[in-house]
């Protein structure tokens, strides 16, 4: 069959304009009744037997003059059905190439006129359900069609735009098709979906590159997520991350506390090809929450955050220099210390192992003061009528810094010999001697007069003091009843405190009135209204009197920080009879023993409890406040006996775990250590009796005190009291449970109880004790087992945390956490849950709450504040359990040493005070110190019979020593 003549192609089909192919290869005029104005395709029946396949058809395409493909018999046929269900415009011959752009020239054609692509289809992803657009543009081109996965796309699915190439002037054609998700899903999983376009010109065909269409997605679950880690400083960190499966593959980035990690800005960090985050050397700044983020064109996924904690193990600082030897003479001790600050443990790092204090024995040479040797014999009398004698500072000679001898080493005096007899006396010498004797006699008479006046005044005062109204006004006359059959003379007089308590709200003696006359005492209450207007009792209200007292104190700079109220303050006026001050419900009291205030003196004494936030107490290293801060004063007053300050503490005393110190604030405001417990000197101004929950401080100087502990090991612990409070009445769906963590002292408990009364709260569980150790671990609180059908928790975290330093520093009051629950129904009234409180790697407590929030009050009375003695100030004998006369008899009997051991030492052993014998022995009356301590420990609820039994058991020969008759009362 001769080749088809090359003529201008018909628009849209490549046939000559206005002509069609006749059977036998002849062209005919095309009909123009097509709605588009194009030539209709020839009837298949007319061309089937007339047209045969060319002998050598062009590879990969048909001659441009053949608008329709040949059928299997080699004739032109009608449109064939494509695999997409639409008639294909043509079907290229087998062997057509697939891949990059391929040109198939027609034999004998001009290869320069082969179509070439200006735009080829590119790989694309289908996101969600949005179809994608593929574009082809070629020049010169008369036809362009897309072929997808080996099947031709329908002609109606093509969007065609014809133009002229501006650079060559040749015709250009641009074709677009849309590919939907449904089309791709039909073959998805079997093979990849691809499309390419084929362009025709008069010189042949050209195929574009293949464009692959893929459905984009990103799975939700990471194949591997980063895990939380705790690493030491400078240790390497590797956080793995395998992102979810996706097309296109997800890109990975890392967030540190929601900030992007950029390895280009931080050389210490890099991201591996497997998307793991690597920190070469951990720094404190690397402590954070890390999140792996995977993203592609479809979505962005976040992994679970991994908490990375960079901890620092504590390291010891260098040792300080050895301190000065504690003994200025003889054997003593010296110490040196170091602190766990090089570096200090952070973020749960291990505390330094070992002791932070070392002690060693030392010895200092004692200074020896010089002493004179005996005088030598008098020398012979000289011509000047004198002779002399001498001595030397050599018995012993001063050494080791001792003082030189005082006085003269040479002594002279007049003497007589034959040459001096006539000049020794004369009339003028006799007159001189008579005058000196007269002056001496006058001075002696004057001295005797002064002595007599003083003795009379003293007798008048002593007669009043000895009056039984003073010594026994605190006791009602009672009969003597033996308490034991075998010991009828045992101490049996019991004081009637209900009739003798006297509260002083003002000054007994105004200072401006000058010296007061002797007291005119009656048989009524101690120091009743006194005559002459010299001593007055003010009967104003306690509030107004307290304001007046505080206003007087506030005029002094030292008292500027005293609280302006009476709830944490007690005060009174005292003389040599002594008394007691108490701040109710705080465990704080001040005992003023008899004769502690000098006779003739009257002091206005106060006792104050300070809040930690009001007084700045500097703490160093591992130190912590174990007691309340208490002031007693006025400071600087003269005391002849130690008073006893009692206050609570929350430490667990142990010499191996604690180093305890008593601190005192000076008038300038600085704090200093005045006593190191366990190392007291017997003659010291301060002494402390430390017990499980309280301490009793003997002091001869009033001021501001606090007990401070320094932890020697991680075993050192403070007692915390845990309290659960909730509203008395619940009118809304929300219900709050407040968990308080307090120092186990009465004053802290009092403050919280008063606060909860104002808030309308009630106790819902019995208090518990938790031992909080010096381990740098925080305190955690959580709530569990809340019935989900009745309640739901509004907390966003699994537990709450109280930082370690908030508890250990002890400067923040009312430390608590609140758990907020919500009732499903307003009728819900029963609450059952568990509350856990524990220190990380330490002690813990759990509360089983089973409570009716509307009517349950069974725990309300557990914390009812009880009155301690009824009044804050007691003066005179009414302030003491032991009657005054019996006290004096006990002191007189037990102070002298006894060979059989029936003295004050045995009494101290019976009262379990034998560890303080050296302190008692250093005082003028050891028995008085023992009885004062017993009074401080056992008022007002002490058992006087037990003390009587201990005294009577000493085996004193005088069995009637401890009895008092009604006449003596």
Q: Which two tokens stand for residue 225?
A: 């997520």
CATH number, domain with residue 233: 2.60.40.10
pTM of the model: 0.48
Q: What are phi and psi of 27, to 5 degrees?
A: -85, 145
- Burial of 879 by CB count in 10 Å (0-12 exposed, 13-18 middle, 19+ buried)? buried
CATH number, domain with residue 908: 1.10.533.10
> Is residue 442 in some structural domain?
no
Q: What is the mean pLDDT of residues 221-233?
A: 91
CATH number, domain with residue 321: 2.20.100.10
Per-residue model confidence (pLDDT) at position 106 = 59
Final residue in a domain of this structure, among 215, 241, 266: 215
Q: Which two tokens stand for residue 484?
A: 């034991």
Q: What is the mean pLDDT of residues 683-707?
A: 89
Report the DSSP pairing between strands 830-839 and 844-852: antiparallel
Alpha-carbon distance 873 to 574, whole Å?
10
Tell me, yes or no, whether 734 and 785 share the same domain: yes
Res. 222 pLDDT band, cuts 50 70 90:
very high
Q: What are phi and psi of 704, to 5 degrees?
A: -105, 125
Alpha-carbon distance 759 to 727, whole Å?
8
Q: Which of 72-86, 687-701, 829-843 has the lowest mean pLDDT?
A: 72-86
Per-residue model confidence (pLDDT) at position 422 = 44
- Burial of 490 by CB count in 10 Å (0-12 exposed, 13-18 middle, 19+ buried)? buried
Residue that has been written with the tokens 């001697």 in this structure: 433
Res. 208 pLDDT band, cuts 50 70 90:
very high
Q: What is the pLDDT of residues 271-293, one digit of tens each?
A: 998 899 999 999 988 999 999 99
Report whether pLDDT(536) > 50: no
Residue that has been written with the tokens 């002292």 in this structure: 745
Per-residue model confidence (pLDDT) at position 457 = 65
Final residue in a domain of this structure, among 182, 215, 248: 215
Report whether pLDDT(333) > 90: no
Report the DSSP pairing between strands 288-295 and 204-207: unpaired
CA angle 522, 523, 527 (to 5 degrees): 55
- Burial of 840 by CB count in 10 Å (0-12 exposed, 13-18 middle, 19+ buried)? middle
> Is residue 549 in some structural domain?
no
Q: Are 649 and 587 in contact (CB under 8 A)?
A: no
Q: What is the pLDDT of residues 943-953, one digit of tens each?
A: 888 888 888 87
Report the DSSP pairing between strands 124-127 and 211-218: parallel
> Is residue 63 in some structural domain?
no
The whole domain housing 709 covers 568-713
Q: Which of 11-15, 680-684, 892-896, 963-967 has the lowest mean pLDDT?
A: 11-15
Q: What is the pLDDT of residues 717-764, one digit of tens each?
A: 999 999 999 998 888 888 899 999 999 999 888 888 888 888 888 888
Final residue in a domain of this structure, among 690, 713, 736: 713
DSSP secondary structure letter of residue 559: G
> Is residue 751 in some structural domain?
yes
| CA distances, 968 to each of 443, 527, 645, 883 (Å) | 44, 20, 32, 11
Strand partners, 246: 218
Q: What is the mean pLDDT of residues 491-520?
A: 36
Q: Which two tokens stand for residue 456?
A: 């009379």
Res. 189 pLDDT band, cuts 50 70 90:
low
Tell me, yes or no, whether 615 and 654 share the same domain: yes
Tell me, yes or no, whether 648 and 728 share the same domain: no
Tell me, yes or no, whether 793 and 743 share the same domain: yes
> Is residue 15 in some structural domain?
no
Tell me, yes or no, whether 195 and 121 share the same domain: yes
Adjacency order of strands within the sheet including 159-164: 116-119, 132-139, 171-179, 159-164
Q: What is the mean pLDDT of residues 92-115?
A: 57
The residue that leads in pLDDT, 473 or 366, is 366
> Is residue 194 in some structural domain?
yes
> Is residue 430 in some structural domain?
no
Per-residue model confidence (pLDDT) at position 490 = 39
Q: What are phi and psi of 666, to 5 degrees?
A: -80, 170
Q: Are 240 and 135 in contact (CB under 8 A)?
A: no
Per-residue model confidence (pLDDT) at position 545 = 52
Tell me, yes or no, whether 701 and 572 share the same domain: yes
Tell me, yes or no, whether 665 and 743 share the same domain: no
| CA distances, 488 to each of 491, 582, 910, 963 (Å) | 9, 36, 21, 9
> What is the 3-class SS of 177-228, one letter each residue?
EEECHHHHHHHCCCCCEEEEEEEEECCEEEECCCEEEEEEEECCCCCECCCC
Tell me, yes or no, whether 626 and 665 share the same domain: yes
How many structural domains does the chain have?
6
Tell me, yes or no, whether 226 and 295 share the same domain: yes
> Is residue 300 in some structural domain?
yes
Q: Which of 175-179, 319-323, 384-388 has the lowest mean pLDDT?
A: 384-388
Per-residue model confidence (pLDDT) at position 676 = 87
Residue that has been written with the tokens 């001769």 in this structure: 2
Tell me, yes or no, whether 618 and 686 share the same domain: yes
Per-residue model confidence (pLDDT) at position 966 = 37
Res. 779 pLDDT band, cuts 50 70 90:
very high
Per-residue model confidence (pLDDT) at position 969 = 39
Q: Are 969 and 493 in contact (CB under 8 A)?
A: yes
Q: Which two tokens stand for residue 429?
A: 């010498």
Mean of per-residue pLDDT scores for the chain: 75
Percent of the chain with pLDDT over 90: 26
Res. 430 pLDDT band, cuts 50 70 90:
low
3-state secondary structure (DSSP) of residue 613: coil
Alpha-carbon distance 480 to 477, whole Å?
10
Alpha-carbon distance 827 to 833, whole Å?
18
Per-residue model confidence (pLDDT) at position 577 = 93
Q: What is the mean pLDDT of residues 868-884?
A: 80
| CA distances, 520 to each of 523, 525, 578, 602 (Å) | 10, 13, 19, 16
Tell me, yes or no, whether 785 and 889 share the same domain: no
Tell me, yes or no, whether 859 and 896 share the same domain: no
Q: Which of 185-199, 203-217, 558-572, 921-935 has the lowest mean pLDDT?
A: 558-572
Q: What is the pLDDT of residues 433-444, one digit of tens each?
A: 788 888 888 888
The residue that leads in pLDDT, 52 or 258, is 258
């Amino acid at each position: 069959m001769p080749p088809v003549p090359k003529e201008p192609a018909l628009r849209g089909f490549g046939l000559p304009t206005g002509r069609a192919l006749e059977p036998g290869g002849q062209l005919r005029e095309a009909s123009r009744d097509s709605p588009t104005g194009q030539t209709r395709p020839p009837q298949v029946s007319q061309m089937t037997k007339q047209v045969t396949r060319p002998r050598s058809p062009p590879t990969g395409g048909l001659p441009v003059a053949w608008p329709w493909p040949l059928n299997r018999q080699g004739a032109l046929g009608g449109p064939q059905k494509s695999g997409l269900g639409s008639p294909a415009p043509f079907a290229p011959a087998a062997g057509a190439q697939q891949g990059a752009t391929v040109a198939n020239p027609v034999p004998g054609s001009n290869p320069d006129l082969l179509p070439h692509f200006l735009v080829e289809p590119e790989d694309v992803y289908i996101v969600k359900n949005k179809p994608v657009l593929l574009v082809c543009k070629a020049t010169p081109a008369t036809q362009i069609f897309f072929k997808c996965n080996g099947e031709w796309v329908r002609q109606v699915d093509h969007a065609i735009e014809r133009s002229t190439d501006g650079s060559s002037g040749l015709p250009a054609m641009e074709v677009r098709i849309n590919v939907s998700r449904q089309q791709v899903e039909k073959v998805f999983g079997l093979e990849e979906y691809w499309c390419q376009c084929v362009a025709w010109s008069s010189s042949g065909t050209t195929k574009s590159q293949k464009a692959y269409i893929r459905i984009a997605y990103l799975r939700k679950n990471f194949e591997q997520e980063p895990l939380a880690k705790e690493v030491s400083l400078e240790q390497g960190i590797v956080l793995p991350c395998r992102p979810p499966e996706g097309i296109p593959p997800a890109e990975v980035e890392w967030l540190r506390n929601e900030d992007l990690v950029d390895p280009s800005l931080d050389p210490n960090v890099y991201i591996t090809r497997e998307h793991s985050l690597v920190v070469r050397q951990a720094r404190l700044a690397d402590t954070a929450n890390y999140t792996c983020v995977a993203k592609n064109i479809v979505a962005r996924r976040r992994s679970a955050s991994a908490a990375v904690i960079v901890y620092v193990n504590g390291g010891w600082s260098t040792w300080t220099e050895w301190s000065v030897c504690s003994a200025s003479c003889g054997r003593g001790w010296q110490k040196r210390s170091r602190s766990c600050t090089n570096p200090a443990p952070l973020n749960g790092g291990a505390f330094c192992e070992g002791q932070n204090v070392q002690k060693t024995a030392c010895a200092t040479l004692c200074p020896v003061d010089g002493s004179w040797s005996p005088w030598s014999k008098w020398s012979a009398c000289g011509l000047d009528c004198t002779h002399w004698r001498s001595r030397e500072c050599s018995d012993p000679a001063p050494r080791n810094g001792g003082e030189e001898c005082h006085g003269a080493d040479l002594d002279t005096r007049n003497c007589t010999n034959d040459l001096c007899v006539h000049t020794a006396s004369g009339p003028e010498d006799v007159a001189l001697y008579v005058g000196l004797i007269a002056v001496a006699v006058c001075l002696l008479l004057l001295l005797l007069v002064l002595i007599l006046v003083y003795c009379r005044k003293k007798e008048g005062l002593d007669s009043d003091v000895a009056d039984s109204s003073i010594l026994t006004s605190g006791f009602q006359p009672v009969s003597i009843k033996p308490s034991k059959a075998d010991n009828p003379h045992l101490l049996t007089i019991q004081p009637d405190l209900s009739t003798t308590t006297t509260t002083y709200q003002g000054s007994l003696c105004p200072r401006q009135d000058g010296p007061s006359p002797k007291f005119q005492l009656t048989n009524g209450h101690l120091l009743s209204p006194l005559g002459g207007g010299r001593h007055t009792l003010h009967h104003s209200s306690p509030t107004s009197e307290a304001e007046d007292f505080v206003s007087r104190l506030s005029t002094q700079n030292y008292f500027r920080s005293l609280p302006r109220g009476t709830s944490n303050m007690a005060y009174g006026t005292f003389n040599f009879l002594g008394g007691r001050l108490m701040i109710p419900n705080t465990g704080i009291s001040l005992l003023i023993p008899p004769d502690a205030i000098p006779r003739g003196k009257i002091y206005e004494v106060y006792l104050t409890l300070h809040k930690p936030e009001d007084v700045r107490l500097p703490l160093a290293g591992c130190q912590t406040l174990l007691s309340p801060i208490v002031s007693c004063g006025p400071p600087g007053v003269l005391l002849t006996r130690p008073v006893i300050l009692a206050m609570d503490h929350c430490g667990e005393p142990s010499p191996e775990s604690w180093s305890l110190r008593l601190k005192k604030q000076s008038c300038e405001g600085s704090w200093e250590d005045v006593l190191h417990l366990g190392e007291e000197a017997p003659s010291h101004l301060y002494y402390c009796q430390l017990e499980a929950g309280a301490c009793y401080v003997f002091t001869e100087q009033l001021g501001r005190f606090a007990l401070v502990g320094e932890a020697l090991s991680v075993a050192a612990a403070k007692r915390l009291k845990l309290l659960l409070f909730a509203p008395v009445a619940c009118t809304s769906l929300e219900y709050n449970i407040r968990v308080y963590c307090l120092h186990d002292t009465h004053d802290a408990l009092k403050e919280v109880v008063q606060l909860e009364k104002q808030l309308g709260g009630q106790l819902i569980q019995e208090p518990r004790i938790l031992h909080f150790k010096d381990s740098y671990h925080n305190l955690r609180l959580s709530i569990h087992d809340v019935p989900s059908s009745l309640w739901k928790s509004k907390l966003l975290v699994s537990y709450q945390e109280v930082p370690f330093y908030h508890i250990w520093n002890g400067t923040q009051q009312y430390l608590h956490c609140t758990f907020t629950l919500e009732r499903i129904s307003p009728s819900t009234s029963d609450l059952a849950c568990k509350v856990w409180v524990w220190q990380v790697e330490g002690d813990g407590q759990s509360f089983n709450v089973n409570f009716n929030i509307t009517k349950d009050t069974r725990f309300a009375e557990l914390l009812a504040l009880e009155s301690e003695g009824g009044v804050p100030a007691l003066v005179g004998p009414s302030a003491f359990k032991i009657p005054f006369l019996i006290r004096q008899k006990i002191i007189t009997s037990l102070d002298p040493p006894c060979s059989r051991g029936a003295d004050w030492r045995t009494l101290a052993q019976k009262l379990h005070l034998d560890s303080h014998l050296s302190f008692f022995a250093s005082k003028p009356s050891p028995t008085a110190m023992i009885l004062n301590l017993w009074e401080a420990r056992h008022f007002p609820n002490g058992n006087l019979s037990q003390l009587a039994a201990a005294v009577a058991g000493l085996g004193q020969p005088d069995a009637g020593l401890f009895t008092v008759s009604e006449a003596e009362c």
